[in-house]
Amino acid sequence: MLDRLNQAMAHIEDHLDQRIEVSELARITLTSEYHFRRLFSSLAGMPLSEYVRRRRLTLAGADVLAGEPTLLEIAVRYGYASGEAFARAFRTVHGVGPGEARRTGAALTAQPRLSFRLTVEGNSTMRYRIVEKDAFKVVGRKARVPLIHRGVNPHIAEHVRSIPPETMLRIHGFSDQEPAGIVSATVRLSDGFEEGSDLDHYQAVVSSAAELPDDLDVLDCPAGTWAVFESSGPFPQALQQMWADVAAQWIPSNPYEYRPGPEILRTRAAQHDPSHSDAQLWIPVTRTTG
């Protein structure tokens, strides 16, 4: 997988002055478009579209400073319909307009070319299992929150505090399958994995109940395959590290890819230390054929 990802990066680099089709990148990596976007953003920390834009404007910056060709020709080369659109994008990345940069030789910002490699930690292993689940519902209360990579997410914490205890007891009563009890379920609203990107966060249970009250939020999840990871450690650092390890190590080295669906997290305070947690992370996946 890592070799194919780097082939896709080479394809992007060779076609920065042309239209880049995500379908072609998916073909190179033998994955779906959804999986490629999701994996790329998880590993790179930015959406694919943002990386391509930054790389194009990095090369455009070099052309601007070189003094030729004209600014309009540079704009057209890198896919901008007008000099004004190019100038706006250029300023966003470099902090200065292309005309001023050419006149003054201003310092510009560069987006390095990305490549991927797997770092193997010899003293740790990832515990996981593959589970086939029938269709089910995530039932609870939902809030729109920003993604935060490190530390406690205060928006999620506030959402949890805002749910009355009696409502949580009612929600808990609908739990009838794995993962059991109250869980957190997150749905990404874009292919981005950058800090601050929007998530729908459910404080909820997993249920097959046919009849549900109108005041609860319900997310329907079709039948499919789930990769279930387990960890134990300080909260929330161990959980966030597990999420990162799934994207950076497990997915690239196993015959599975992401598929659309919520990521479900079940946490319980560790018996030996309340500052630690035992966790299960459920990731929707599909087995690759390549």
Domains delineated in the chain:
2-104 (1.10.10.60), 127-287 (3.20.80.10)
Distance from C-alpha of 189 to C-alpha of 282, rounded to nearest angstrom: 18
Angle between helices 33-44 and 2-14 (to 10 degrees): 90
Asked if the model's pLDDT at residue 110 lies above 70, the reply is yes
278-286 average pLDDT score: 92
| pLDDT per residue as tens digits for the range 242-262 | 877 888 778 877 889 999 999
Q: Which amino acid is at 102?
A: R
Per-residue pLDDT, 119: 54
CB atoms inside a 10 Å sphere around CB 10: 13
The phi, psi pair for 31, rounded to 5°, reads: -130, 175
| Positive/negative CA dihedral, 54, 149, 253, 256 | negative
Of 198, 148, 205, 147, the closest CA to residue 176 belongs to 205
Give residue 142's pLDDT.
96
Dihedral (Cα; 103, 109, 115, 117), 10-degree rounding: 160
In this predicted structure, the answer to whether residue 124 has a pLDDT above a threshold of 50 is no
Residue with tokens 């690759």: 288
Structure confidence by residue, pLDDT tens digits, 223-233: 999 999 988 88
Q: Which of 136, 140, 135 is nearest to 173 (CA)?
A: 140
Distance separating alpha carbons of residues 34 and 27, to the nearest angstrom: 12
- Who contacts 229 (Cβ-Cβ below 8 Å, separation ≥6)? 126, 127, 128, 242, 246, 250, 280, 281, 283
| Nearest of 270, 264, 265, 266 to residue 233 by alpha carbon | 270
Percent of the chain exceeding pLDDT 70 equals: 91
| Structure confidence at residue 89 (pLDDT) | 94
Q: CA 156 to CA 240: how far, in whole Å?
A: 14
Provide the 3-class DSSP secondary structure of residue 286: strand
Angle of CA points 226, 231, 237, to nearest 5°: 115
User: What gap in Å lies between CA 214 and CA 165, rounded to an integer?
Assistant: 18
Least confident of 98-102, 173-177, 227-231, 267-271: 267-271
List residues bridging with 206 in a β-sheet. Answer: 138
Please report the pLDDT score of residue 118 as a whole number. Answer: 57
Give the model's pLDDT for residue 195: 66
**What type of residue sits at position 30?**
L
Task: Note the pLDDT tens digit of each residue in 75-102.
Answer: 999 999 999 999 999 999 999 999 999 9
Query: Does the pLDDT at position 192 exceed 90?
Result: no
Residue 156 exposure: Cα atoms within 13 Å on the Cβ side: 20
Q: Identify the band that residue 123 occupies on the pLDDT scale cut at 50, 70 and 90.
A: very low
